Amino acid sequence: MDSSGGQVVRITRIGALLEVVLANPPVNALGSAVRRGLADALDMAEADNSLAVVIRGEGGLFSAGADIGEFGKDAAGVPRLGALCRRIELLDKPVVALLSGAALGGGLELALAAHLRLAEPSAQLALPEVLLGLLPGAGGTQRLPRLVGGAAALDLMLSGRVIGAAEAVALGLVDRVVEEDPVTAARAAARALAEAGSWLRSEDRREGFRDVTGYRSAVAAARETHASQRVPAPRRIADCVEAALLLPFEQGLEFERAGFEDLRETAESAGLRWSFRAERAARKLPPAVAGMEAAPVQRVAVWGAEGQAADLVRQALKAGLSVQLADPSREAMVAALGRIVTAQEAEVQAGRMTAEARDADWARLVSVVGPSRLGEAEAVLTLRDDLALPAPRTVLALGVAGGKGAVGVSLVPAARMLAEMVLEGGDVAPARAAQAVALARRLGWDVVPVGAGGPVAVALATALAEAVALLEGRGVPRAAVAQALALAGIAGEGRPGVAGKTEEAIARRCFAALANAGARLVEAGTARDAATVDAVAVSAGIVARWTGGPMHQADRRGLMVVRRDLRVWAAESAELYAPSGLFDRFIADERKFTG
């Protein structure tokens, strides 16, 4: 056995086999170094006397796809993934792909080009490019329909959903699942194909074309479903799936590539790509907190029975926690318990909860009048500012002053509850902050670390409301404002259409107000950076995800242009439009808010 190749791709000869291992932690992303290594492996496979090739990933996963940090930066002399996939497909010896863990996006497209796909039970497969306003650009729209048919291919590519190995086999995407010693099984399968001297390329597969009528109906239904969406990617995906049926394979690949290039240049895709990066950046914990092992929480107390108390109790019970609900007022306690009963009974009647689960929840719920037993819990969620504990505990203060060492939390209703958490500063100990984050995530909250002075979402929403009020105060009809916001993706998902001069002017004012508010939040240390502002704006539904957020929009328009507009509009409302000093600093440094 001998090996060659770089660190990110290992090429090993095992008898008559050539084994290619993707070794680019943490997710085996297909960046330029990996693609160069794959090209070297294919050069070797084409030149030597090996009989078959096995491609697999290291570290418990195959590949999570493209390196988004390199997006749009094609390295000189490094082949694109689509060209590598085509070389794999046309290789004159069989190629077996062994999928483990994540096989996503370009990683799955790489496997689609192989002649046999085996999957470990852990495999998770998806083509999520639509979530970035793109389509699979390495042959996925042409190969997948040939294997699984139009309806299944459209379902996977238009939803971006992740499927497991068993479903992948049922669809025909994977040939079989291998459980014991998968690497040995993949090598054996490659040798068997070589000995048989016969294998099928994906371009020659026709199982997915058996029901042409159903295939065409699926394409038509997809077009109708996505006709009113602002993001064009779903419609282009439907076009490509139709092309797979109608065009010769090579022309289908060219059609797909043109669609990918077109989408990559759209403002919607740029916004979605930035939103993806901003969300990851905004959710990073401070180093001192991230490096701390959180003590487990099994018992939680809720101090205060009014407001969000009933919802908090239900969330904690659903998370399997033992819960103590405490309040100085017996009447408030009874009312909160009544709200919990009503909500749970509604879930039981709707079939979303079993009676047994409801009874189990009540067995873990204790109600106490007064604060005497709060110290029994490992963490306290307080809705009141009069919390007093007999001994130190992790305290999450929800919109109130929680006392020394408490973690401030602002909850913003969203698809997944957004929790702005003040994890640094004051007397917050890293160990307490880490425990608070772990508890918040167990409750299903989406945690974004922020500084004092928020909530960020409320400041942004207030700025937008003030901008709209100013417009209406100047005589702009409410219907015109609503139309402009809908086209711009503000306070909603947006819709297709061409904005006129009036709509553009309205949208510019609103985005400028949001960007200025965001810049002030960054200046004050309330938001850590522009990524935090944009991530919160998107998560809270203030702007649509495809806009990228107000800071991204300011960068696209140009900071000097936005600052000029702000200075003009400040005559109407300095409180809203007087430019943040952050504009001056970034312009002087020739920087963008979003990097």
* 70 secondary structure, DSSP code: G
Q: Classify residue 238 as exposed, middle or buried by CB count within 10 Å of its CB (0-12, 13-18, 19+).
A: buried
- Specify the 3-state DSSP secondary structure of 478: helix
pLDDT of residue 73: 65
Q: Does domain 456-588 have CATH number 1.20.1050.10?
A: no
Q: Which two tokens stand for residue 580?
A: 């943040």
Identify the bridge partners of residue 301 per DSSP, sorted by sequence position.
Answer: 324, 380
The answer to whether residue 247 scores a pLDDT higher than 70 is yes
pLDDT band at 312 (very low <50, low <70, confident <90, very high): very high
Q: Are 576 and 520 in contact (CB under 8 A)?
A: no
For residue 66, what pLDDT band results from cuts at 50, 70 and 90?
A: confident
Residue tagged 């502002």 (tokens): 533
pLDDT-derived band at 4, boundaries 50, 70, 90: very low
The predicted model scores a pTM of: 0.92
Here the tokens at position 532 are 């935090």
Q: Which tokens is 202 given?
A: 């994906």
Give the separation between CA 487 and CA 436, rounded to whole angstroms: 39
Q: How far does Cα 327 stand from its chain's mean position? A: 38
- As a whole number of Å, the CA-based R_g of the chain is 28
Looking at residue 75, its pLDDT comes to 73
Query: Position 435: which residue type?
Result: Q
Cα separation of 131 and 159, whole Å? 8
* Residue 539 bridge partners (DSSP): none
State the pairing for strand pair 17-22/9-14: antiparallel
Q: What pLDDT score was predicted for residue 2?
A: 41
- What is the DSSP secondary structure assignment for residue 474, as one 8-state letter? T
CB neighbours of residue 469 within 10 Å: 13
pLDDT above 70 (res 359)? yes
Average confidence (pLDDT) over 71-90: 87
Closest by Cα among 480, 347, 357, 457 to 410 = 457
- As given in the structure block, the two tokens for residue 547 are 């806009």
- Give the pLDDT band (50/70/90) at residue 313: very high
Separation in Å, CA 450 to CA 228, 431, 528, 539, 576: 36, 17, 6, 14, 22
Cα dist from 324 to 52, 344, 408, 431, whole Å? 63, 17, 20, 23
pLDDT value at residue 496: 79
* Strand-pair partners of 342: none
Assign 5 a pLDDT band (cuts: 50, 70, 90): very low
pLDDT at 415: 81
Query: What number is the average pLDDT over the span 102-109?
Result: 98
User: Is the predicted pLDDT of residue 406 greater than 80, yes or no?
Assistant: yes
CB 235 within 8 A of CB 223: yes
The confidence band for 1, taking pLDDT boundaries of 50, 70 and 90, is: very low
Judge whether residue 256 has pLDDT over 70.
yes
Nearest to 525 by CA among 473, 459, 430: 459
How far is 56 from 465, CA to CA, in rounded Å? 53
Residue 74 has pLDDT above 90, yes or no: no
Span 251-256, mean pLDDT? 98
CA–CA separation, 369 and 580 (whole Å): 48
Residue 188 pLDDT greater than 80, yes or no = yes
Rounded to an integer, what distance in angstroms lies between the CA atom of residue 326 and that of residue 371? 6
Residues designated as active site: 109, 129
Type of residue at 126: A
Instruction: Pick 2-265's CATH classification: 3.40.50.11540, 3.30.300.130, 3.90.226.10, 2.30.30.110.
Output: 3.90.226.10
pLDDT at 454: 85
For strands 379-382 and 418-422, give the pairing.
unpaired
Kindly indicate the confidence band of residue 409, based on its pLDDT and cuts at 50, 70 and 90: very high
Percent of the chain with pLDDT over 70: 98
Distance CA 63, CA 259 (A): 24
| Alpha-carbon separation of residue 179 from 119, 121, 159, 186 (angstroms) | 8, 6, 28, 11
The angle that helices 309-318 and 355-363 make with each other, rounded to 10 degrees, is 110
Per-residue pLDDT for 173 more than 90?
A: yes
Domain 290-450 class, CATH top level = alpha beta
**Hey, where are the domains in the chain?**
2-265, 290-450, 456-588
Q: What is the mean pLDDT of the chain?
A: 94
The C-alpha atoms of residue 56 and residue 95 are separated, in whole angstroms, by: 11
Q: Please list the residues that pair with 95 across neighbouring strands.
A: 53
Average pLDDT over residues 402-409: 91
pLDDT at 3: 43
CA–CA dist 288, 431 (Å, integer)? 9
What is the rounded CA–CA span in Å between residue 316 and residue 417?
13
